[in-house]
Amino acid sequence: MKFTKKLMLISASAALAAAPIVPALTSVASVQAATIHKASYTKSKVKTIKSTYFYSQSGKKLNKKAAKGGSYTIYDVTEINGKYYYATQSDLAYWLPASATTGKVYYKSGKTTYTLKTSSKGKLTITKTTTTTVSSSSSSKKTSSSSSSKKTASTKKNKVTVGKNTYFYDKKGKRVKKFLGVTYLSKGTWVYVVSTKTVKINGSKYYQLANNVYIKAANVSKVNGKAVK
């Protein structure tokens, strides 16, 4: 009897040793990229109600700060973990948390226009307006087509290439020490601009890069890939 029990124990141990070890499977959660909405930057304006850090497109806090009371044109809108952020540059490099601003931002998704309004205390309210078009009349079709072409034009990103080393200037024509971490644009560098139309500052023509940041038009060699005459 004792011999039989020992034999059974040895057999069981051998069976366990021979059995394949199945690793535990760990579930991996998929990460979905945040959706970015193109804002109507011609009328999307906000002011900072407090000093706040800028964030990256992925929601990571950057070392650069926005001062209280600063005015910004908004180019894009995104939502990360239930919080809204506004892009203050057309290249999406710097984002402000909506909760640190006051003002209105607009963007379209299909036929729906979204209005994001923040109060003087940073409280965000979102309203939706849906427009419908009547396709029975030819005039309605023309209106719809015109509206669509305007949207395309407003969301187009324009860029310029500098033909020489170029410094940055503010709206008063004074040199800006640094912009996006650099002192000047090297010859051959291209950057996005707000518009291909120049603005005059103290009698000289400039291209606007961002809020209160400009470069001299005389230093630009190409606009949207075409040589400047």
Per-residue tens of pLDDT for the chain, all 229 residues: 554 545 454 454 544 444 454 444 333 333 345 788 888 878 899 999 999 999 998 889 999 999 999 999 999 999 988 899 999 988 888 999 999 999 999 998 888 889 999 999 989 999 988 876 544 444 444 444 444 434 434 456 889 999 999 999 999 999 998 888 888 999 898 988 999 999 999 999 999 998 999 999 999 999 998 898 7
Tokens of 14: 């051998």
Please give the distance of CA 11 from its chain centroid, rounded to a whole number.
Answer: 66
Coil, helix or strand for 146? helix
Helices (runs of H) and strands (runs of E) counted in the chain = 2, 21
Looking at residue 153, its pLDDT comes to 40
Q: How far apart are CA 107 and CA 113, in angstroms?
A: 6
Q: In this structure, are residues 97 and 85 in contact, taking their beta carbons and an 8 Å threshold?
A: yes
Q: In this structure, are residues 157 and 210 in contact, taking their beta carbons and an 8 Å threshold?
A: no
Tokens of 44: 């999307």
Looking at residue 169, its pLDDT comes to 95
Looking at residue 144, its pLDDT comes to 43
Q: In this structure, are residues 106 and 40 in contact, taking their beta carbons and an 8 Å threshold?
A: yes
Residues near 20 by beta carbon (within 8 Å), at least 6 away in sequence: none
Which of 47, 39, 45 is closest to 77 using CA atoms?
39
Query: What is the model's pTM?
Result: 0.47
Looking at residue 137, its pLDDT comes to 43
Coil, helix or strand for 99? helix
